[in-house]
Chain A
């Protein structure tokens, strides 16, 4: 039996999971929530993680009913991500690895996401649509490695949603994307937004500045904030599905895995 503990803190969440032979024994988390209209800053996020990491660690061990001597390896997110939060969490991982005298394994953030999702879903050879606050990539496994088939050429989809939420002054609780989704459910009319697919790549910045430039005019009568959320979702999601489909056509893969955070 192999028991591993993993530390992740590359963005606004700190999480520690314990896994035994593919079974998730515990996975406690804390999220750093910022006030409405603000994004999370690296140093404040790092302080949040520092304040919670030891509690989360204790919780992870307690829930899993595992003691350090039963653990075989310590894993942590090596990157990519925000520097300060990453370091705060990596320091703890390194410390416990030395304290407990266990090997330490740095994990690429993107691969962590994909492998976790494969484990949970049982997907074998999926085309991965990897979408989150800072990432938008279509990835498939080919020639013995994960390869990026398509990606955003400017901002990530999550970032785009966050920025629309800020423009519309939506709350960050529980997350900007969630609140956009709730608004979108009540959208009635489709606003024609730039739909930018270039081969297998997408671009969102044009869509966002298009909205930014016209927002006041739209809200003065033509469209509601709900319409704008609805249209952003329809347009952006259609772009993502289309590029994922293209990658699947190219690799012949039959499964799609949608992975976020």
Chain B
């Protein structure tokens, strides 16, 4: 491996750009969180690396774009994976396009449709992403190909509830990126429902998940 260059510092990992067997690669190294008990920290980190590597592989098998896993190194808390150059996050894309053309412009709604179909594929297989924010979805400049990353919190065989929470996390991430993004999420759900017969049950659950935060009795 070439000497790695720091690419990004995320909330729980540092990402380095490097090469692996001559191919451009990304090292995702989950750093120690010293505020956590060391045993707890090791256990959580191990679980997440394994969950991430398994989900990345599974995702590709389902025909959804995700980085190829080159190597998993638990003692060094690392995954080495394919580098996806020239991608921006969906978050950046929403910001950029809604500023230039409005939050309900055609290219964004088309992207939403693609995203809905992609999620239907993952969810039909029971694969819950677990942290489906707009920063964990990458897209090329033409907004044609969406790549999913950051599967550390994924669950392999989620029920309707967990799938609904996935959509809820996405919805909140989209709205916090841009408050006028209602049409974007609507388009995601329409495409999601057209693609998969199990979608209705998840969308019904989503409704309950949304209500949950508002109706709960709050004390103290």
Contacts and interface: CB of A to CB of B under 8 A. Distances in A.
Interface of A: 10-12, 79-82, 109-110, 132-135, 142-143, 147-149, 151, 153, 156, 158, 190, 192, 195, 197-201, 234-235, 238, 241-242, 245-246, 248-251, 260-261
B220 A149 contact: no
Interface string B1-37: 0000000001110000000000000000000010111
Contact of A249 (B11, B132, B162): B11
Q: Which of B12, B135, B162, B172 has the most chain A CB atoms closer than 10 A to its own CB?
A: B172
Q: Which residue of B43, B162, B176 has the most chain A CB atoms within 10 A of its CB atom?
A: B176
A251 B10 CA distance: 13
B40 A201 contact: no
Interface residues of B, number: 34
A132 B172 CA distance: 23
A199 B218 contact: no
A81 B218 contact: yes
Contacts of B220: 10-12, 81, 132-135, 156, 158, 260-261
Interface string B171-214: 01100100100000000000000000000000000000100110
A134 B217 contact: yes
Contacts of A234: 36-37, 40
Given A80-B217, A135-B220, A200 B11 contact: no
B219 A82 contact: yes
Contact of B40 (A109, A156, A190): A190
Given A199-B130, A238-B40, A132 B176 contact: no
A260 to B, nearest CB: 8
A14 B145 CA distance: 57
Instruction: Pick the most buried of B10, B33, B218, B220: most chain A CB atoms within 10 A of its CB.
Output: B220
Contacts of B105: none
Contacts of B216: 134
A234 B33 CA distance: 13
Given A151-B213, A238-B40, A199 B153 contact: yes
Contacts of A12: 220
Contacts, number: 101
A235 B40 contact: yes
The 8 closest A-B pairs by CB, nearest first: A134-B219, A133-B220, A80-B218, A132-B220, A199-B169, A11-B220, A249-B11, A11-B219
Given A82-B217, A110-B218, A134-B217, 5 more contacts: A12-B220, A143-B179, A153-B165, A198-B162, A241-B35
B43 A200 contact: no
B176 A245 contact: no
Contacts of B172: 149, 200
A110 B219 CA distance: 10
A132 to B, nearest CB: 4
B125 interface: no
Contacts of A195: 40, 43-44
10 contacts: A12-B220, A80-B217, A133-B220, A134-B220, A153-B209, A199-B169, A200-B172, A241-B33, A251-B176, A261-B220
Nearest to A249: B11
B35 A199 contact: no
B132 A199 contact: yes
B133 interface: yes
B39 interface: yes
A200 B36 CA distance: 17
B163 to A, nearest CB: 11
B131 interface: yes
Nearest to A238: B36
Nearest to A196: B153
Contacts of A192: 39-40, 43
Contacts of B218: 79-81, 109-110, 134-135, 156
A241 B37 CA distance: 13
A148 B209 CA distance: 14
Contact of B176 (A147, A190, A238): A147
